[in-house]
Structure 1
Amino acid sequence: MFELRRLRLLHELSLRGTIADVAAALSFSPSTVSQQLAQLEREAGVALLEPDGRRVRLTTQGRLLAAHAARALELDEAARAELSSSRHAPARVRIAVMPTAAEALVPAALSLLEERMPGLRLEMVELAPETALFELQARGFDLVVAEQYPGHTREVSPGIDRTLLGRDPVRLALPPGDPATGLAELRDRAWVLEPQGAAVRRWAVQQCRAAGFEPDVRFEATDLVSHARLVAAGHAVAMLPDLVWTGGRDTVRLRELPGSPVREIFAATRSSSQDNAAVTAVREALADALSAHDPR
C-alpha cells in the first residue's frame, strides 16, 4: 500500500521540478525528501527517478504514478471535507488573493462570513495570480482570487475550476490637473505599469500601441495602490481597475479607455473541493463583496 505523504512528494516533484524546490515548499530538508522518494520507489518496485545532470527527473513510471498520486490526493481532500461537514467541525480555508482583492474584497467577505459561517477560520496570503494559481495546483491553497484582461485568457489547468466573481471596469487614471481626454493624448506622459512579464503589463502596452504610441514606462510596481498614488501626486498616468479605488477616487481624473474594457475577477478552486461547504461559502462571500463594492 502506498503511503499518501510520499505520493504527495512525488506529485510535488512533478509540478516543481527539483527536490530542493519540493523541500522548500513543504518545509522539509532535501535529504528527507530524497529518502522518502527512495522508499516510495521500493514500495513501487520500479524506478521512479533518474539522473538528469545534477538533478533528477521522473521516469515514465514516475510520471504514471504521479498522475495516480494527484487523483489520490483529490479523493483524500474530498473525503476529509465530507467528514468534516458531517460532524460540523470548525473549518479552515486557505486563500491566496491579488493585492486589490486583499484590500477591497477580503475585509467585506470576512464580515459576511462571520454571519454566515461562524467559526470558520479564513487564512489569507497576498500573491500574484501566476504564483497563486500554481500553488493552488500544488495544494498550498484552497481558493485563489485572480483576474484576466480582455484577450489575455489565463492557462486552463486540469483539475482546477473557475467561477466568475464579477467584472471590474478598467479606466485611464490621470493627475487632477492633466487636461488629456483620451489615451491618444498620453504619448508624452510618464507611465506606471506592472513589471515585465505580467499579463496586465502586456495588455496595457497593447492598448497604447493600438492608440499609435509606445508608452514611456518610468515606474514599475505590482501594488496598484502605488500606481494610484503616483498618479494622484502628478508623476504618472496609468490604467487602473475600479477595484483599486476602495475609499474614494477623488484624487485623480478618470477617463474611459477605447471599448470600455473590463477585467474578469474569478475564483479558482480544485475540482476535488467542489462539495466543500466552507470553500463554497468563502467563494460566495467574495462574489457578494465584489457585487457590493462602491469605488466612490
Structure 2
Amino acid sequence: MDTRRLPYLVDLARLGSMRAVADVTGTSTSVVSQQIAALAREVGATLVEPDGRRVRLTPAGRRLADHGIDLLAAIDAAVDDLDPAAEPAGTVRVAGFATAIRRSLMPVVAEFATTHPGVRLTFREHEPTEALGLLEADAVDLALVYAFDLAPSAVPIPPSAAVGEVLWEARWGLGVPDDGPVPAAATASTSAEVLAAYADRDWIGNSRNSADEDVLRLLGSVAGFEPRLTHEADSLDLVDDLVVAGLGVGLLPHDRPVRPGVRVLDLPDPPVRLRCRPVTRRGRSSWPPLAAVLRALR
C-alpha cells in the first residue's frame, strides 16, 4: 500500500466530498478519485460507494481512514525523529484563547528571541472548538484549549489529536455588582448557595463556548433553579460592563483585575476551575520547533 494515497482517504472521511478534498489538496476531483481507486486496488477492498451524485465511505473505507490517522501520525513522528538534535527552526502556528496567548505564549516569543531565534510563532485567537477545528484541518500546529472541571465534555477532542498535560489552572467565581455592603452570599459555604442568592437575576453566558452555561446550569440545578441566560459575551471586559450596568451576573476569573463596581464571589464547594491544555495532531509533537514550544510552555 502506498501511504502517500492515505491522506486523500482521511480527508474524504473528514470533509465528506471529493470536491472539498480537491480544494484542500490543490488538485482536482479526478486526481482524488484516481488516488482512492488505486488505494482500493492495493488493499483489495471497496473504499467508497455512490451516494446520489456524490460518494461516501464504505465500512471498510471508514476503518482504513481511522487507521490512516494513526499511520500518518507515525510517519510524521518518524520523519521528525531523523534529526532530533538539529536546532529548531520554522514557524509554529498556534490557535488559542486570549488568556492563554497572553499568559503562556507571549512570554515564549520573548524567550525564543534569545534561545531559539529560528523559531517563529504566529497566533490566532479562537475559542477551543474553533481552535480544534483549525487543528483538525491542519491549519495550525498547536491549539491551546480550556475546559472547566465541572464541564469537561464541552470541548470534544478530534480523533487525530493528542491532548497534553494541564499547563495551568485558574479559579473562577461569580461576578456580581459591588454596589454596597458585602452580600450574604459572599460567606456561603457551597457554590449552590452563592448562585441561589442571585436566582432571580439575568445571567451572562459565553457567545462562543457553552462551557460557562454548562457550569451555571449544573450548579443551578443543585440550587434548585434554572439560570435565565439572557446575555452572551465573549469578552470578559464586556461581562464586567454588563454586571456594572445591572444587566446580569456571570462567571469571572479570580486572578484577573475587574473594573470598579464588580465583585467576584468565591464559589467554594464545588470550586470552579478552568484548566488550560495544549493539543497537537498525533505524531507532530516531536517536530523540533513545536517540541521546543511545548517544553517552554511546560
With the shorter chain as reference, the TM-score category is 0.7 to 0.9
- Work out which of the residue numbers 221, 228, 243 in structure 1 matches 2:240: 228
Residue in structure 2 matched with residue 183 of structure 1 by the alignment: 195
Equivalent-residue separation in structure 1 for 2:244 and 2:71 (angstroms): 52
Structure 1 stretches lacking a partner, 5+ long? 288-296
Equivalent-residue separation in structure 2 for 1:124 and 1:66 (angstroms): 30
TM-score, normalization: structure 2?
0.79
Conserved? CA contact 1:99–1:224, under 8 Å: no
Q: How far is the alpha carbon of 1:34 from its aligned partner? A: 5.0
Conserved? CA contact 1:152–1:203, under 8 Å: yes
Equivalent-residue separation in structure 1 for 2:36 and 2:102 (angstroms): 43
1:36 aligns with 2:47: no
Note closer, same or farther for the CA distance 1:275–1:170 as it changes in structure 2 (3 Å cut): same
Deviation per CA, 1:152-191: give whole Å up to 9, x if none.
3334646523211011101111233266433222122222
Equivalent-residue separation in structure 2 for 1:283 and 1:233 (angstroms): 41
Equivalent-residue separation in structure 2 for 1:47 and 1:185 (angstroms): 61
Structure 2 stretches lacking a partner, 5+ long? 186-193
Equivalent-residue separation in structure 2 for 1:55 and 1:43 (angstroms): 19
Note closer, same or farther for the CA distance 1:213–1:74 as it changes in structure 2 (3 Å cut): same
- Work out which of the residue numbers 244, 247, 263 in structure 2 matches 1:253: 263
Conserved? CA contact 2:173–2:254, under 8 Å: yes
- Work out which of the residue numbers 157, 161, 164 in structure 1 matches 2:163: 161
Note closer, same or farther for the CA distance 1:89–1:264 as it changes in structure 2 (3 Å cut): closer
Q: How far is the alpha carbon of 1:199 from its aligned partner? A: 2.9
Note closer, same or farther for the CA distance 1:67–1:184 as it changes in structure 2 (3 Å cut): closer
Residue in structure 2 matched with residue 123 of structure 1 by the alignment: 122
The amino acid across from 1:53 in the alignment is G
CA RMSD of aligned residues (A): 2.9
Deviation per CA, 1:232-287: give whole Å up to 9, x if none.
444321112346x3xx3243211101413212211122341343332233224334
Equivalent-residue separation in structure 1 for 2:259 and 2:214 (angstroms): 28
Equivalent-residue separation in structure 2 for 1:275 and 1:42 (angstroms): 31
TM-score, normalization: structure 1?
0.80
- The total of aligned residue pairs comes to 280
Conserved? CA contact 2:47–2:60, under 8 Å: yes
The amino acid across from 1:202 in the alignment is D
Equivalent-residue separation in structure 2 for 1:242 and 1:145 (angstroms): 20
Equivalent-residue separation in structure 2 for 1:196 and 1:208 (angstroms): 21
Note closer, same or farther for the CA distance 1:42–1:80 as it changes in structure 2 (3 Å cut): closer
Residue in structure 1 matched with residue 173 of structure 2 by the alignment: 171
- Work out which of the residue numbers 229, 238, 252 in structure 2 matches 1:217: 229
Equivalent-residue separation in structure 1 for 2:275 and 2:245 (angstroms): 28
Conserved? CA contact 2:8–2:21, under 8 Å: yes
Conserved? CA contact 2:112–2:119, under 8 Å: yes
Larger radius of gyration: 2
Q: How far is the alpha carbon of 1:145 from its aligned partner? A: 1.0
Q: How far is the alpha carbon of 1:99 from its aligned partner? A: 3.3
**Once the two structures are aligned, what percentage of the paired residues are identical?**
30
Conserved? CA contact 1:163–1:268, under 8 Å: no
